A and B are shown apart, each in its own frame.
Chain A
């Protein structure tokens, strides 16, 4: 418990308020119990601690990855904010799923922005997105909305994965990125299930998404895992491994919405 107290002492109140209200932070800490508090709270709040960052300079590479992630989170956040405000789009039975996803994406945006600032960088401004350019009925047709949502979540999973190694110089930031990464995968699975798809990706199957979305799934069919440093292994299931996307590949996907 002492560890937790010292972490609280280092917090910058303004930043906490942006991510989660002070009261909620304390309530949640009480609610989640000792095991989870030890595991998640120091990591979560460590990311927001000014002192923790002041000690070392941040490689430009880390800031670049964080702004890259921020752009994707902006893309997702604005998408769900718009969808949740579009009356008649999301059936009542599914509404709480998208309220929950939207809450996470908003938290990711806030966390990335505050982290970039604390690391001495400048968060990119939110771009102007054009969701209807290639998907004209995305905010009036629920099936189109679900398809684009699946595409965003599956892209997010692959994008974070593709640049994780560039964060290895900062263990706190790396861990936070991994914690976001697996939440995106949880989102992807639930949205896929709403579309009648499996929660995981089979081969490079785009699951009924338009042909323009194939880039999101290209490479997922890979069956050779590992490298010479760990041992190269031909595996029996491509479903069991999500594959990374590099910045160029992700940029091409994002451009469909710019």
Chain B
């Protein structure tokens, strides 16, 4: 496995150089080759899968980006369902906030899909059977879970990326997820320390979780089987 990782790193190093040379067509050709090699070496499947089948995250930058894409799909689906039929107890202000967040998550999802192009995993099928969408408390608690999980996921995945441009885009998104998390927490416990309490920010640091931990938690809300080769 370590040999495969080493080969991946070398390959990505080449990709970066090609990318920096500005020859997009050459870069894309190399990118395709890289994935093919990884597929053979890791015995993994990077092709788009139907929602009912499984999907695989490769242990490389595309795998990390697809991991983010999977989480954004989950969040976008959740908020889309919430705004389709708000809990009766939601205030006007809360509805406006959820409309905003839904638009953000849809934008994140669509960005990853478009940016990854042929490297993108398929659409995931969510499993929201445990969520009571008529309950304000349950919807807010679920939103808090998703946002905190998302923040910790991006924080933990940053160090897995080898391409600077990918880290930049992840950084642009994670802080907006943190703004969401803080806002949702303020709706649940107004004007308290909940926006950034000591459970999530021990010692002034937000959490950073490995993909395996995040996917284990997110799996409860996803019907599609995700096979992850990420740490």
Interface string of A217-240 (1 = CB under 8 A from B): 000000001111111110111011
Pair count A-B, CB < 8 A: 237
Chain B residue with the shortest CB-CB distance to A232: B115
Chain A residue with the shortest CB-CB distance to B120: A231
Chain B residue with the shortest CB-CB distance to A198: B100
B24 within 8 Å of A by Cβ? Answer: yes
B27 within 8 Å of A by Cβ? Answer: yes
Chain A residue with the shortest CB-CB distance to B163: A229
B196 touches A190 (CB 8 A): yes
B204 within 8 Å of A by Cβ? Answer: yes
B171 within 8 Å of A by Cβ? Answer: yes
A248 within 8 Å of B by Cβ? Answer: no
Q: CB-CB < 8 A to A176: which residues of B?
A: 205
B195 touches A230 (CB 8 A): no
A181-236 contacts to B (CB < 8 Å): 181-190, 193, 198-200, 225-233, 235-236
Bound form: Cα–Cα A107–B158 in Å: 22
B118 nearest CB across to chain A (Å): 10
B191 touches A97 (CB 8 A): yes
Chain A residue with the shortest CB-CB distance to B116: A231
Chain B residue with the shortest CB-CB distance to A166: B164
Q: CB-CB < 8 A to B156: which residues of A?
A: 39, 175
B180 within 8 Å of A by Cβ? Answer: yes
Bound form: Cα–Cα A40–B171 in Å: 19
Interface class of chain B by DSSP: helix
A130 within 8 Å of B by Cβ? Answer: no
Bound form: Cα–Cα A179–B103 in Å: 25
Stretch at the interface among A5-13, A135-143, A157-165: A157-165
B204 touches A228 (CB 8 A): no
With A225-B172, A239-B100 already in contact, the answer to whether A93 and B191 are too (CB < 8 A) is: yes
B174 within 8 Å of A by Cβ? Answer: yes
Q: CB-CB < 8 A to B161: which residues of A?
A: 168
Stretch at the interface among A28-36, A49-57, A59-67, A144-152: A28-36
Q: Which residue of B106, B117, B204 contacts A105 across the interface (Cβ within 8 Å)?
A: B204
B162-186 contacts to A (CB < 8 Å): 162-169, 171-183, 186
A189 touches B19 (CB 8 A): no
With A241-B176, A244-B168 already in contact, the answer to whether A32 and B202 are too (CB < 8 A) is: yes
Q: Which residue of B114, B151, B158, B175 contacts A231 across the interface (Cβ within 8 Å)?
A: B114
Bound form: Cα–Cα A42–B117 in Å: 36
A1-47 contacts to B (CB < 8 Å): 19-20, 28, 31-32, 35-36, 38-40, 43-44
Chain A interface, number of residues (Cβ within 8 angstroms): 72
Bound form: Cα–Cα A20–B202 in Å: 9
B172 touches A242 (CB 8 A): yes
A189 touches B178 (CB 8 A): yes
A199 touches B179 (CB 8 A): yes
A239 touches B103 (CB 8 A): yes
A103 within 8 Å of B by Cβ? Answer: yes
B25 nearest CB across to chain A (Å): 11
B209 touches A39 (CB 8 A): yes
Bound form: Cα–Cα A229–B107 in Å: 19
Interface string of B14-35 (1 = CB under 8 A from A): 0110010010100100000000
B107 nearest CB across to chain A (Å): 4
B206 within 8 Å of A by Cβ? Answer: yes
A181 touches B207 (CB 8 A): no
A83 within 8 Å of B by Cβ? Answer: no
A237 touches B103 (CB 8 A): yes
B32 nearest CB across to chain A (Å): 14
Q: Which residue of B65, B166, B176, B199 contacts A239 across the interface (Cβ within 8 Å)?
A: B176
Chain B residue with the shortest CB-CB distance to A156: B175
